[in-house]
């Protein structure tokens, strides 16, 4: 579908503003004595991105042209856009689904190290679709067969809860916890209707889990909440845990979750099985 004129103007203005904030030094170009425009020239940006200078000029001018995701990715890389900026660029250009995927940035090294500092308390970091992004040894022990083999795809708590048989033994109150988790997944998916990561996960659950298929039709929704849950520890048997979480300021859907045995309270907002 062609972009509306106002959207094309916004796209052009956004590209121009990001082009003008880059300097030749930042991209390895020689600085000339006189430059009439701030930042890079259109021709310079087009050359660095590997596209036609005329075509890029039309894009900034808001002309009615179609732009592919591949070209937008090249422009985002050349303009050194961060995650939210890349997502905004893709949305302005009508690539909403791709923009949703771009919103999930890789976990920073310093953030990924935090669960290791919380040993011996089970701790991990998960994203909006419940993918496990980082974890410590205690979490690996508490949730068997979740974190051991991630060669083909990331570990995922929702997939583990419904599709891994050992989860029904580890999570003592499996049915209410699983139903609650599915309701929260539906709530989260509703916030990202164009994100194919949610669609793929939901389709997989509906195909492989009779419980997920039946409960999904009931259209239950639920807000995220903290609390307590009973989990079967591999050495000590059933243990009641309080769980709490901390959302990253720059990536609020990336959530650090920490389990504590016998804590008096858990007053956070985690993205965990049952939480």
Q: Kindly report, residue by residue over 97-137, the tens digit of the pLDDT.
A: 554 554 445 788 899 999 999 999 999 998 889 999 999 99
Retrieve residue 105's tokens.
């940035």
pLDDT score at 35: 67
CB 18 within 8 A of CB 39: no
If one compares 76 and 26, the residue with the highest pLDDT of the two is 76
pLDDT score at 27: 78
Q: What share of the chain is helix, strand, coil (3-state, %, to 5)?
A: 45, 15, 40
Q: Tens digit of pLDDT for each residue in 45-103? A: 889 888 889 989 998 898 888 888 888 888 988 998 887 788 778 878 887 655 455 44
pLDDT-based confidence at residue 230 (cuts at 50, 70, 90):
very high
pLDDT-based confidence at residue 32 (cuts at 50, 70, 90):
low
25 contacts: CB under 8 Å, gap ≥ 6: 31
237 contacts: CB under 8 Å, gap ≥ 6: none
CB 144 within 8 A of CB 167: no
pLDDT score at 81: 86
Share of residues in the chain with pLDDT > 90 (%): 36
Full set of structural domains in the chain with CATH:
5-102 (1.10.260.40), 109-261 (3.30.450.180)
The answer to whether the bond into 234 is cis (omega within 30° of 0) is no
pLDDT score at 263: 47
pLDDT score at 135: 93
Residue 194 pLDDT > 60? yes
Taking residues 20-30, report their average pLDDT. 81
pLDDT score at 266: 38
Give the largest CA-CA distance in the chain.
Answer: 74
How high is the mean pLDDT of the chain?
Answer: 83
Retrieve residue 203's tokens.
């389709």
**Rounded distance between C-alpha atoms, residue 274 and residue 227, angstroms:** 9
Residue 217 pLDDT > 50? yes
The CA R_g of the chain, rounded to the nearest whole Å, is: 23
pLDDT score at 118: 96
**Rounded distance between C-alpha atoms, residue 21 and residue 27, angstroms:** 12
Q: Tens digit of pLDDT for each residue in 148-193? A: 655 567 799 999 999 999 999 999 999 999 999 998 888 888 777 7
pLDDT score at 270: 41
Residue 3 pLDDT > 70? yes
Taking residues 215-233, report their average pLDDT. 84
């Amino acid at each position: 579908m062609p972009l509306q004129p106002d959207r094309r103007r916004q796209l052009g203005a956004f590209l121009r503003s990001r082009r003008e904030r880059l300097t030749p030094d930042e991209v390895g170009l020689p600085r000339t004595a006189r430059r009439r425009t701030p930042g890079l020239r259109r021709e310079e940006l087009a050359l660095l991105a590997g596209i036609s200078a005329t075509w890029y000029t039309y894009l900034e001018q808001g002309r009615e042209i179609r732009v592919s995701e591949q070209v937008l990715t090249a422009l985002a890389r050349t303009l050194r856009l961060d995650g939210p900026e890349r997502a905004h660029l893709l949305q302005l250009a009508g690539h909403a689904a791709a923009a949703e995927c771009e919103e999930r940035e890789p976990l920073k090294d310093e953030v990924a190290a935090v669960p290791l500092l919380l040993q011996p308390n089970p701790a991990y970091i998960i994203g909006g679709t419940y993918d496990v992004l980082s974890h410590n040894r205690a979490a690996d022990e508490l949730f068997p067969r979740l974190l051991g083999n991630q060669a083909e795809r990331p570990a995922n708590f929702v997939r583990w809860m419904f599709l891994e048989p050992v989860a029904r033994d580890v999570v003592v109150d499996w049915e209410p916890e699983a139903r609650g988790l599915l309701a929260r997944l539906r709530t989260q998916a509703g916030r990202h209707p164009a994100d194919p990561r949610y669609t793929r996960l939901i389709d997989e659950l509906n195909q492989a889990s009779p419980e997920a298929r039946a409960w999904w039709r009931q259209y239950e929704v639920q807000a995220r909440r903290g609390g307590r849950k009973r989990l079967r520890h591999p050495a000590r048997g059933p243990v009641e845990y309080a769980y709490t979480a901390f959302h990253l300021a720059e990536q609020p859907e990336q959530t650090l979750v920490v389990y504590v045995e016998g804590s008096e309270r858990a007053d956070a907002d985690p993205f965990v099985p049952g939480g």
